[in-house]
């Protein structure tokens, strides 16, 4: 779904207000609810993406009377709208706390009673803003209490990544969810796919005829998809110690972006057709042999260093909650090959790291170099590059060669810029877009079970190999100095592209 800027004063393109719904949040006092969900729901009401007759039902362990105050405080801390002084009282009136423990059947009976209080509001969206280990418990109770049955209105379950820890656990979660609900009711949310710039990859590829003839192995040398962060592990150490950069970023976010770059045109703009083409890409990824992992994958961990402001940065293994001998990777890179007609022989490098020099995420399409240099006496033309900036400063950049002014044939590089964000307001947040899609039943931007399982299958040999390793190379925090990256990209024109 593509929507106009909410601050532009223009109507949204295909911006349909969904029917009223009961939005049930498990983990209603957690960090995700506080920082993302509640501010997003407020904006959705403000901009017509959520019917104000909807109810927001928060499941809290105790002190249900305090939940409204918790929400008020969260909005004042994390919502730009609330900070701007808008009246949030109407939004607070949409709140309905239900007290109980996730393991107790009485909690779900309380949810059922709350839903039945308004017979004209029959739809329900269940959002699991809880650790993944609780997903199957919640699903089981929803099924046992009859809450997931679509006798009246829809019933949709939203779960956050990680969707399993490996292939076996992902398959187990899927089987448990299917025991009580249909795959069409499950929305595996990945906020990366809600970014305007990521969605634009799809539109850019299939709504323009200019570059489609070039979008193949004959003209593209390689593709680099990156996600660099300046932050360290912060408060996420308990999760990150079990995950690492490969699971946290590459298996989910970046492999999803790769499928959008590499997929064939779907027959139409339907969720299943789009996801069918994404699965075809994953199934075409060249299997990685266990003894070849070191040739296509790299892991590293940040050591101490200094930030851009000169302040010292601690090493990962000295961060609170991190084991002193931790072998968790904070930087991961994998070079994939997609063995099909379009992409045979074209490397796709996916990499992500914490405590890098800059916070930036990009998709860079590096085109092949001109086959012959006509301009003797000067340097050969630099190959063209098309860059999709995912964050920050979302937009597209096309690097071209042009003649320098004056009596010379020397060349200079020009960068054509096309920013997404207009000057008169902010774009919709990823969670606003994705929640709106769930309410409409639009699943294009959500992972299907076979997508998840295929991605785990691809990286399984890497995980298996890395689990045997007890030491990692280190890179200085606040830099791009990652050992081994140049060697990993030895078959890519110009090597590692460090986003600037």
Q: Enter the pTM of the model.
A: 0.89
Average pLDDT over residues 264-275: 88
Quick: pLDDT tens for 324-358. Answer: 888 999 999 999 999 999 999 999 999 999 999 99
| pLDDT-derived band at 10, boundaries 50, 70, 90 | very low
Give the pLDDT band of residue 15 (cuts 50, 70, 90). Answer: low
Instruction: Give pLDDT, residue 422.
Output: 56
Strand 385-391 to strand 395-403: parallel, antiparallel, or no bridges (unpaired)? antiparallel
- What number of other Cβ atoms are within 10 A of residue 263's Cβ? 22
Give 52-79 pLDDT, tens digit per residue: 999 999 999 877 789 999 999 999 999 8
**Cα–Cα dist 345/338, whole Å:** 7
Instruction: Please check the confidence at residue 1 and state whether its pLDDT lies above 50.
Output: no
**Range list of β-strands (E), 229-330:** 297-303, 305-306, 312-313
What's the rounded Cα separation, in Å, for the pair 375 and 312?
Answer: 48
The predicted model gives 301-326 an average pLDDT of 90
Q: Give the per-residue pLDDT at 492.
A: 84
CB 98 within 8 A of CB 110: yes
- Cβ-proximal residues to 256 (8 Å cutoff; 6+ apart), any chain: 190, 192, 193, 278, 447, 451
Contact status, residue 452 vs residue 163, Cβ threshold 8 Å: yes
Whether 141 is catalytic is no
The one-character DSSP state at 327 is: -
Q: Is the pLDDT of residue 150 over 70?
A: yes
* Average pLDDT, integer, range 465-477: 86
Q: Is 439 helix (H, G, I), strand (E, B) or coil?
A: helix
* CA distance linking residue 169 with residue 459, whole number of Å: 14
DSSP conformation class of 362? E
Most confident of 284-298, 304-318, 396-410, 411-425: 284-298
Summary mean pLDDT of the chain: 88
Per-residue model confidence (pLDDT) at position 101: 93
Q: Residue with structure tokens 């990286």?
A: 459
| Local structure of 53: helix, strand or coil | coil
> What integer pLDDT is reported at residue 477 of this predicted model?
93
- pLDDT over 80 (residue 133): yes
Check whether 407 has a pLDDT greater than 80. Answer: no
What pLDDT digit, counting tens, does each position of 360-378 carry? 999 999 999 888 777 766 6
At 426, the pLDDT band (50, 70, 90 cuts) reads low
Predicted pLDDT at 227: 94
Q: Which of the residues 96, 191, 253, 497 is marked catalytic?
A: 253
pLDDT higher at 419 or 331? 331
Query: φ and ψ at 292, to 5 degrees?
Result: -110, 5
Contact 347, 335 (CB under 8 A): yes
Q: Place 122 in a pLDDT band, splitting at 50, 70 and 90.
A: confident
Position 6 pLDDT exceeds 90: no
| pLDDT tens digit sequence for 214-230 | 999 999 999 999 999 99
* Res. 2: pLDDT tops 90: no
Residue 171: what pLDDT?
Answer: 93
Distance between CA atoms of 306 and 137, rounded to whole angstroms? 44
């Amino acid at each position: 779904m593509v929507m106009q800027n909410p601050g532009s004063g223009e109507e949204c393109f295909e911006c349909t207000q969904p029917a009223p719904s009961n939005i049930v949040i498990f983990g209603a006092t957690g960090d995700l609810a506080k920082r993302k969900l509640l501010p997003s729901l407020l904006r959705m009401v403000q901009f017509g993406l959520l019917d104000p007759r909807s109810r927001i039902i928060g499941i809290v362990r105790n002190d249900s009377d305090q939940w409204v105050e918790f929400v008020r405080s969260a909005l004042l801390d994390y919502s730009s709208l609330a900070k701007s002084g808008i009246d949030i009282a109407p939004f607070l009136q949409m709140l309905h706390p239900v007290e109980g423990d996730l393991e107790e059947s009485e909690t779900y009976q309380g949810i059922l009673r709350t839903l039945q209080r308004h017979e004209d509001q029959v739809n329900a969206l269940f959002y699991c803003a809880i650790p993944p280990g609780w997903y199957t418990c919640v699903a089981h109770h929803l099924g046992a209490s009859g809450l997931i049955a679509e006798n009246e209105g829809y019933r949709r379950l939203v779960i956050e990544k990680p969707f399993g820890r490996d292939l076996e656990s992902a398959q187990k979660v899927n089987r448990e969810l299917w025991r009580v609900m249909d795959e069409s009711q499950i929305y595996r949310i990945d906020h990366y796919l809600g970014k305007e710039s990521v969605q634009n990859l799809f539109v850019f590829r299939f709504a323009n005829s200019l570059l489609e003839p070039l979008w193949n192995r004959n003209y593209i040398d390689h593709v680099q998809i990156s996600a660099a962060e300046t932050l360290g592990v912060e408060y996420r150490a308990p999760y990150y110690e079990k995950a690492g950069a490969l699971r946290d970023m590459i298996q989910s976010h970046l492999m999803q972006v790769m499928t959008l770059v590499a997929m064939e045109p779907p027959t139409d703009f339907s969720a299943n057709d789009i996801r069918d083409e994404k699965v075809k890409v994953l199934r075409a990824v060249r299997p990685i042999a266990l003894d070849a992992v070191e040739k296509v994958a790299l892991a590293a961990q940040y050591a101490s260093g200094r930030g851009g402001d000169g302040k010292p940065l601690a090493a990962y293994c000295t961060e609170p909650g991190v084991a002193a001998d931790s072998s968790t990777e904070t930087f991961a890179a994998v070079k994939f090959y997609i063995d099909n007609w379009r992409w045979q022989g074209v490397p796709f490098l996916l990499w992500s790291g914490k405590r890098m020099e800059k916070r930036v995420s990009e998709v860079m399409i590096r085109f092949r170099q001109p086959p012959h240099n006509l301009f003797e006496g000067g340097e050969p033309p630099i190959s063209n590059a098309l860059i999709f900036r995912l964050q920050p400063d979302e937009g597209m950049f096309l690097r071209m060669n042009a003649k320098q002014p004056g009596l010379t044939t020397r060349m200079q590089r020009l960068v054509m810029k096309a920013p997404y964000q207009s000057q008169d307001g902010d774009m919709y947040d990823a969670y606003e877009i994705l929640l709106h899609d769930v309410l409409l039943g639009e699943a294009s931007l959500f992972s299907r079970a076979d997508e998840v399982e295929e991605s785990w299958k691809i990286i399984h040999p890497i995980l298996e190999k890395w689990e045997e390793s007890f030491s990692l190379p280190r890179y200085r925090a606040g830099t791009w100095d990652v050992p081994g990256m140049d060697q990993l990209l030895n078959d890519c024109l110009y090597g590692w592209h460090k986003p600037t």
